[in-house]
Structure 1
Amino acid sequence: MRRLESWIFALALLVAAACVGFFTSRYAVRADWSTGGRASIAAESQAVLDRLPGPVEVVSYASPSGELRANIGAFMERYQRAKRDLTLRFVDPEKDPAAMRELGISNDGAMIIHYKNRVQRLDDSLTERSMSNALERLARGGERIVGFVTGDGERLPGGKANADLGTFMTQFEARGLRSVPLNFGQVQAVPEHTDLVVLASPSAPLSPAAVQALVDYVGNGGNLLWLAEPGDLDLGVKPLADALGVRLLPGVLVDGQGASLNLTDPRQIVQVSYPPHPITHGFTLTTLFPQAAGLAKVSGTDWTVAAFLRTGEQSWTAFHGIANDQPSTIRYDAAAGELRGPLDFGFAQTRLSPSPEKNEQRVVVVGDGDFLANTFVGNGGNRALGERIFDWLLGDDALVALPPRGAPDRVLELTQARLDVLTLVFLVGLPVFLAAMGGFIAWRRRRR
C-alpha cells in the first residue's frame, strides 16, 4: 500500500512539473518589487503611452558589435511591456551611410520614433526622461508655441538672471514647448497659432496698446498665464484684470505658519496643502512663494474661478514694513485696512471659449512669479507645480497629475529629537559598548 502511495505521489509530482513547464513556456508573469516600482516605467511614462493610440515604431541606428543593441533592447523592453504595439527595429549604420547622412545621424545609437505621420529624433543619452519627453512631443502633436510678453522688464524665458525663467523653461522645452518673444512694440496683436501667452511680472508700465492687445487676445479665446506681483495694478494692467474678472489686493501677503518650517521671513508663503483642483490633484510637494499678492474674484463675470493656492489662518495683507530687511517688525494693522486670511493667491479660470476652434478657454493668475524664477524654481515642488500649470493651460490634462519621478528615499527628514538620539547612540553609546565588550573579552582571557 505504501509503495502504491509512493508511485502515485511520484506520478503526481511529474504531472505537476509537466504542467509548470507547459504553462511557463506559454505565459510570462512579471512582478516589480523595487521601491516605488523603479524597475518599470514611471506613471508619467505610462500616461504618455496611453495618449498614443495605435502602433509606435522605434528605429535604432546602432552597430551590431558590442553591447549597445543589447542595452537598448533591455531598456525598450520596459516600454514594450507597457505598450504591446510598440516595436523596436535595429538598423546597421555602416550598411547605409547615405541614409544616415540624409537623416543627419552621426552618433551610434541614435533613435528615430515614428507615430502616424509624426517623427521624433532622440540623439542624447538614453534615459527614461529623454525617451518619455520624445514620446510626449509626439503625443502633443508637434511643438506648442508659448509667447512670452517682453519689452517691459518681464522675466525672460531663456534668461540666466536670478529673476528670469531660464532654468524652468530649458527643462520644460524638452517636452515639446517652444517659447517665442512677444513684443507689442513690434507687433500689434498676438500671432495666430500661439497656444499660450505668458505675462511674467513686468517691472515697467505696459503701453496701452500692449494691454489692449492682451485684452483682445483673451476676448478672442486665448489661454493666458499671468504671473503677477504686488503692485502690478500700478503698471496699467487694470483693463486686463477687469477682462479676467480678477482683482489684485493691495499689500503683500504674509503668513505666520512658515515659522513652523524654520522660515524667519513671513513674506515667504509656504504651501503644504492645496485647495482641490485638477492642477493640484494628488500634489503633495511643498512649494515656496517669496512675495505674493492676494487675489479676489469679481462677481458678475462669465468666468468660473477656482482657487488652487491659498494662505493659512495666520496670514494677512501687510501694508507696512514689507520693504525693509527686518520682517520681524511686520504686524497686523486692522485700522489700515489689512485683510486677514485665509487669502487666495492662485486662480484657475475657465469659460466657454469665444473662439469656435476651442471648447474651453483657460487662464491662470498667480500672485507671484518668483516661484518659477531661477533662484527659487529648485525649492521643493516649485518646478513640478509650474509644469502642472502649463500642462493644464495647454489642455494636456492627462499629463497634469503625473507624479514626479525619482527615488522615494532621496531625502532623510529627521526631527531634532531623533537627531539627538542618533547622536547619543552612535557617538556615545556605540563607542562605550565596544569599549566595554573589549574590556570584558580582555578580562576573560586573563582569567584563563
Structure 2
Amino acid sequence: MAVADRPRERGRFDATTSAGRAVRYGSNTLIMTIALIGVLVLINVIAARVDKRWDLTAEGRFSLSPQTGQILSGLKAPVKVTGFFAPGDPGQSQAEDLLKEYALASNGKLTYELVDPEQQPALARQLGITSYGSLVFQQGDRKQIVFASDEQGLTGALLKVTSDKQKTVYFLTGHGEPAPDDFSGRGFSTWRDTLQHDNYNVATLNLAITTTVPSDAAVVVVAAPQKPLSADELTHLQDWLDGGGSALVLAGPQADPSVQSLLEPWQVRLGDGVVVDPAASFLGDVATPVITRYPFHDITRDLGGLTSFFPFARPVVSDNPNAQTLVSTSPQSWAETDLQSRQVQFNEGKDTRGPLNLAVALERTSGQSDTGTANESPKQPRLVVFGNTDFVSNQVLSTVRGAFGNVDLAVNAVNWLAADEALIAIRTTPDTPRQVILTGPQSSAIFYGTTIAIPLLVLLAGGWVWWRRR
C-alpha cells in the first residue's frame, strides 16, 4: 500500500515544488519591476531639481559658442533684452529659446522680455521700434537694436552695447590688395562681416593719400600687395609700429617683395617656394596643407579640434627668439621651389624640408614702444605674419562654409593684435551639412581597406571554414 502510494506522493511533491518556484520567480519579477520604477522616479526627481543638459552634437549646435559664453560670464553690469513680435510669429520661439540660454549663461546678468508692440505701443515708440522681430539690447544709457534671432547677431549686439568704444581695423589699399568690401572669391567681405560681429569698425587705408596711420587704428592689415609699397609708405607703417601699433601681414608667394622691408626689423622673412605636404593635404591637393594641431598661444588656444587649410602658402622664417609659431606643417612637408615642373618631389639642397611655419606672432617689449598715457597701459607693438592670403578669402571660406578654423584663426589674430584677448574664442558657425576632410594617407587607407583588405579577409575566412569542414 505504501509502495503504491509513492507515485502519488511524488506527484504531489513535484507540483508543490513547481508552484513554489513560480511564486518565487513571480515575486522576484515584481520586486525588480518595483525597483526599476523606483529608480526611474528617482532619476526624474533629480533631473527636475538639477538643471543640467548635454549637447551631444559634434559641433555643439544646441549650445552657445565658447565666445558667447565667455562674453556673458564676464558681464559687469545688467543687460536687458526686449523683443517685439507679433502673436504666432515663429521667430519668437527661436528668439526665446536662444535668450533662455543667454540668461542662464550670464548668471542672472542678462534678462529678457518678449512683448507684442500692438499691446504695448508706448514701449515700442520709446525704444524706437518700427517693425516686428526687433530685439533691443540695453545697458545703462546704451541701446542696440538687432533684427536677427541667431546667436551671431545677438552676440554682436551684446558686444556693441557693452563695449566702451569701437576699435577700427584698417586694410591697406592702393597696391592691388584684396578689399574688405570685395564680394568676389578673392575678396575679404566674409572676413569683414565676422570682424564687424566682433564689434570692429572696418575701413580702408591708402597711405598715398593719407600720409599717416589714423590715430584710431587698432590694427593695420597688409594683405598681399601686388605692387611695391613706396619707401614713404613703409616708413609710415614702421613708425606707427615703433609707436606701439599692431599689424597683420598676409603674404603668399605672389605678394610683392617690398613687404619684406616691413618685416626685416622684426627678424622675420618670407621663405621661397610653395609649401606642399603629402601627409596632410586638403582632398589630396598637396599644395593645400591641412592643419589640425596648433602650438599654444592666445590666438590658437581654443582652436583644438578645428581644421584649417592654407592653399598655395609660403613658409615664414624667423630668427627672432621671441617669435611664436601659430601654424606649422608636418615633418613630411617641404617648400617646393621648382614650380614649373609638373612632378612634385623633394630636391635635396634646393627645397627646404619641413616642418615649416606658416604663421608666427611677435610682440616687441623694447623701449622703442610708446609708454602710453597716464590712464593707459603701455602699448607694445605686435605683429602677426601669415605666409598665405587665400586662407581667409571669400572663395575658401565659402568652401568650408564657416565650419572650420580659418575664419576663427584670422579673427583671433586681430583680437590679439588689438589687445582684445577676452574676445578670442571659437565663434558660432552656421547650421550647415558636416563635411569629412580626408588627408591623402586617410583616403588611401579607406580605398585599400574597402577594396582589398575587407574582401581578402572574407575570402580567407571562407577558406578557413572550408578547410575545417573538409
Q: TM-score range by the shorter chain?
A: 0.7 to 0.9
Q: One-letter code of the match for 1:311?
A: T
The C-alpha deviation readout for 1:229-266, integer Å capped at 9, x for no partner, is 2264633x33311232212222332333246x5424x3
Of residues 408, 418, 430 in structure 2, which corresponds to 1:394? Answer: 418
The C-alpha deviation readout for 1:400-425, integer Å capped at 9, x for no partner, is 2336557799346794478669x99x
Q: Which moved more, 1:61-70 or 1:203-212?
A: 61-70
1:347 alignment partner, SS class: strand
Please state how far the C-alpha of 1:48 moved relative to its aligned partner: 1.4
CA distance in 2, matches of 1:218, 1:388: 19
Partner of 1:430: none
Partner of 1:132: 155
Task: Describe how 1:139-218 pairs up with structure 2 within 5 A.
Answer: 139-218=162-241
Q: One-letter code of the match for 2:294?
A: Y
Partner of 2:300: 280
**Distance 1:229-1:61 versus aligned 2 partners, 3 A rule:** same
Q: Which moved more, 1:95-104 or 1:287-296?
A: 95-104
**Distance 1:309-1:103 versus aligned 2 partners, 3 A rule:** same
Task: Describe how 1:20-419 pairs up with structure 2 within 5 A.
Answer: 28-36=49-57, 38-63=61-86, 72-83=95-106, 84-90=108-114, 92-94=116-118, 100=124, 103-124=127-148, 126-230=149-253, 232=255, 234-235=257-258, 237-258=259-280, 262-264=283-285, 266-283=286-303, 284-299=305-320, 304-320=322-338, 322=339, 324=340, 327-334=342-349, 336=350, 338-352=351-365, 353-356=369-372, 357-359=376-378, 360-377=380-397, 378-379=399-400, 380-402=404-426, 405=429, 410-411=434-435, 415-416=446-447
Q: One-letter code of the match for 1:397?
A: E
Bigger radius of gyration: 2
C-alpha root-mean-square deviation of aligned residues, in Å? Answer: 3.3
2:229 alignment partner, SS class: coil
Contact 2:227 2:256 in 1 (8 A): no
CA distance in 2, matches of 1:61, 1:212: 52
2:253 alignment partner, SS class: coil
Partner of 1:9: none
Q: Aligned residue pairs: how many?
A: 389
Give the TM-score normalised by structure 2: 0.73
Q: One-letter code of the match for 1:308?
A: L
Contact 1:231 1:250 in 2 (8 A): no
Unaligned runs of 5+ in 2: 1-37, 438-442, 456-470
Q: One-letter code of the match for 2:309?
A: L
CA distance in 2, matches of 1:193, 1:219: 16
Give the TM-score normalised by structure 1: 0.76
Q: One-letter code of the match for 1:229?
A: G
CA distance in 1, matches of 2:313, 2:284: 16
**Identity value in percent:** 28
Please state how far the C-alpha of 1:342 moved relative to its aligned partner: 1.6
Partner of 1:8: none
CA distance in 2, matches of 1:331, 1:105: 64
CA distance in 1, matches of 2:208, 2:363: 29
**Distance 1:291-1:263 versus aligned 2 partners, 3 A rule:** same
**Distance 1:28-1:45 versus aligned 2 partners, 3 A rule:** farther
Contact 1:60 1:90 in 2 (8 A): yes
Contact 2:81 2:111 in 1 (8 A): yes
Please state how far the C-alpha of 1:145 moved relative to its aligned partner: 0.7
Q: One-letter code of the match for 1:383?
A: V
**Distance 1:89-1:272 versus aligned 2 partners, 3 A rule:** closer
**Distance 1:204-1:402 versus aligned 2 partners, 3 A rule:** same
